[in-house]
Structure 1
Amino acid sequence: MLHIVKHEVATEIQLARPPVNALNLELLRALQNALSEAVQEGARGVVLSGAQGMFSAGVDVPALLRRDRAGVREFWREFFATCATLAQLPIPIVAAISGHSPAGGAVLSLFCDYRVMAQGPYRIGLNEVQVGLIAPDCIQMALRRVVGAYRAERLLVSGALIEAEQALAFGFVDELVAVDQVSTRALHWLNETLALPSHAMLGTRQIARADLTAAFADVDALPIDLFVEAFYHPQTQATLQALVERLKSKAK
């Protein structure tokens, strides 16, 4: 589910769950473990990447709908726990957004220090509203601190998926490069950051990310049960079931 590549001072964690790197319970747990191991093994930074053309399609909705209520809650707790792991990572992490990155994929990138995205007809965004989900405040906050309050509101309420050039203009991503150069450029940015005096860089980073760290300090204090209740709203369930049917039709 993951490919781990060791660079000189950094670890690259590549999502590797074909065909679209959809997030399920096993992938989320593997990602948390890989991030913790990178720190324990002395990596000074992390690159989080995906497949060329697809960073992550977000939550594996068909698999999630097959779970019972306890299983659904278990999944969403693990999703928020993954966000918490990223938020509290003591070393810089850069997202190499190598293609499309809707919903959960976009969320993971927001918890990184920097975002390099593939140039071209690739889309990114928190399209939860379009699939019947309510983005909780802890996730909205992650977007607000990247693009600003008003822009975040417009993107969230519409559930917009925006193309790479617009994402750059909005500040959703930090730079665009050719799709085959995304990981290389992400590693270059990371190496430049790691070349700074480490005590000053890490101390300043800790202060700058204190709001994000505090918001995810206690996963069980997050409104997981409210989110699960909203997930089972009849309109949400109908929208998600319709999405699954569309996915089945495309696969034929």
Structure 2
Amino acid sequence: MLEFHRHGDIHEIRLARPPVNALTPELLSALRTAVQEAPAAGARAIVLSGGAKVFSAGMDVPHLMGLDPAGLKAGWASLFAAGRAIASSPVPVVAAIGGHSPAGGCVLALCCDYRIMARGPFRIGLNEVQVGLVAPDAIQHLMRRVVGPYRAERLLVEGALVEAEQAHAIGLVDELTDGEHVVKRATVWLEELLKLPSASMLATRRIARADLVAALESFRDDDLDAFLGEWNSPGTQAALKALVARLGK
């Protein structure tokens, strides 16, 4: 479910679950472990990449709907655990977004230090509202810190997915490039960052990202239970079943 590539001191972790890198508990657990273990394996920085047309389509809803309550809770907890691992990584992490990145894919990207997206009709955003879910405040914080409170409000309330050019214009992604170059641009950006005095750069980064880490760590068990209550509500279940039916076509 993951592929690993080394670009000198920069380690690439590539999501590799065809066809759209839909996120399962197993994939997210493997990602969390890979991010946590990379520095000990010599990584001074990490590139998180995905598919050529889809970075990640978000959580694997059909898979989640087949889980029992304990498995469902563990599945959603795995998304937050992977996000926390990325956000709290002691080395910089860049998202190389080669295509669409809705919902959980966007969450992972927002936990990274920097986001490089492929030009084209690719969409990114937190579209939970469209399937009857409420993005928890910890997730909303991720959006607010990169696009600002009012812009985040508009995007979140509408469950909007924006195309790459607009995402760049509003700061949701930091840079656009051709799809085949997203990983290369990510490594170049990191190589420049790693030329700075390491101790001061990493200490400054840790201070600057403290709010991000705190927001994700604030998401407790009772918050997850509240989220799952929404997931199990009749309206949300109807929307999710309609989504699964569309995916089946």
TM-score range, shorter chain: over 0.9
Aligned to 1:21: 21
The AA in structure 1 aligned to 2:119 is: Q
> Residues 16 and 41 (structure 1 numbering): CA distance in 2 closer, same or farther, change over 3 Å?
same
Question: Residue in 2 aligned with 1:186?
Answer: 186
1:12-161 matched pairs, under 5 angstroms: 12-161=12-161
Q: Is the 8 A contact 2:139 2:216 kept in 1?
A: no
Counterpart Cα distance in 2 of 1:220 and 1:90:
23
8 Å Cα contact 2:120-2:164 kept in structure 1: yes
Q: Distance in 2 between matches of 1:46 and 1:244?
A: 33
1:46/1:94 contact within 8 Å kept: yes
Confirm or deny that 1:247 pairs with 2:247: yes
Are residues 1:202 and 2:234 paired? no
Shift of 1:78: 1.0
Deviations for 1:21-64, whole angstroms, at most 9, x for unmatched residues?
A: 00001100110111112022121100000011110000000000
Any stretches of 5+ residues in structure 2 without a counterpart?
A: none
In structure 2, give the amino acid aligned to 1:78: S
CA distance in 1, matches of 2:176, 2:6: 24
- Which residue identity does 1:101 align to in structure 2? S
Partner of 1:229: 229
Q: CA contact under 8 A between 1:57 and 1:103: conserved in structure 2?
A: yes
Distance 1:162 1:131 in 2: 17
Match of 1:133, as an amino acid?
L
The 3-state SS of whatever aligns with 2:48 is: strand
| d(CA) in 1 for partners of 2:138, 2:222 | 8
Residue 209 of structure 1 and its aligned partner are, at CA, apart by 0.4
Name the SS of the counterpart of 1:56 in structure 2: coil
CA deviation after TM superposition for structure 1 residue 219, in Å: 5.6
- Look up the equivalent residue of 2:143 and give its one-letter code: L
Structure 2 distance, partners of 1:228, 1:19, is 27
Give the conservation status (yes or no) of the 8 Å contact 1:87–1:112: yes
The Cα of 1:6 is off from its aligned counterpart by: 1.3
Displacement, 1:218? 6.0
Residues 106 and 124 of structure 1 are in contact (CA less than 8 Å); yes or no, is this contact kept in structure 2? yes
Distance 2:218 2:32 in 1: 16
Deviates more, 1:157-166 or 1:70-79: 70-79
SS in 1 for 2:217: coil
Does residue 9 (structure 1) correspond to residue 38 (structure 2)? The answer is: no
Shift of 1:90: 0.8
Which segment drifts farther, 49-58 or 213-222? Answer: 213-222
**Which deviates further from its counterpart, 82-91 or 13-22?**
82-91
1:7: how far off?
Answer: 1.5
Give yes or no for contact 1:48–1:95 (8 Å, CA) kept in 2. Answer: yes
Deviation at 1:222, TM superposition (A): 6.5
Using the TM superposition, give the Cα deviation of residue 194 of structure 1 relative to its aligned residue in structure 2, in angstroms: 0.8
Which deviates further from its counterpart, 223-232 or 112-121? 223-232
The one-letter amino acid of 2:53's match is G
For residue 214 of structure 2, give the secondary structure of its aligned residue in structure 1: helix
CA RMSD of aligned residues (A): 1.1
User: Letter of the aligned partner of 2:160 in structure 1?
Assistant: A
Q: Secondary structure at the match of 1:22?
A: coil
Contact 1:81 1:219 in 2 (8 A): no
Q: Is residue 84–residue 219 contact of structure 1 (8 Å, CA) maintained in 2? A: no
Partner of 1:172: 172
Q: Is the 8 A contact 1:64 1:72 kept in 2?
A: yes
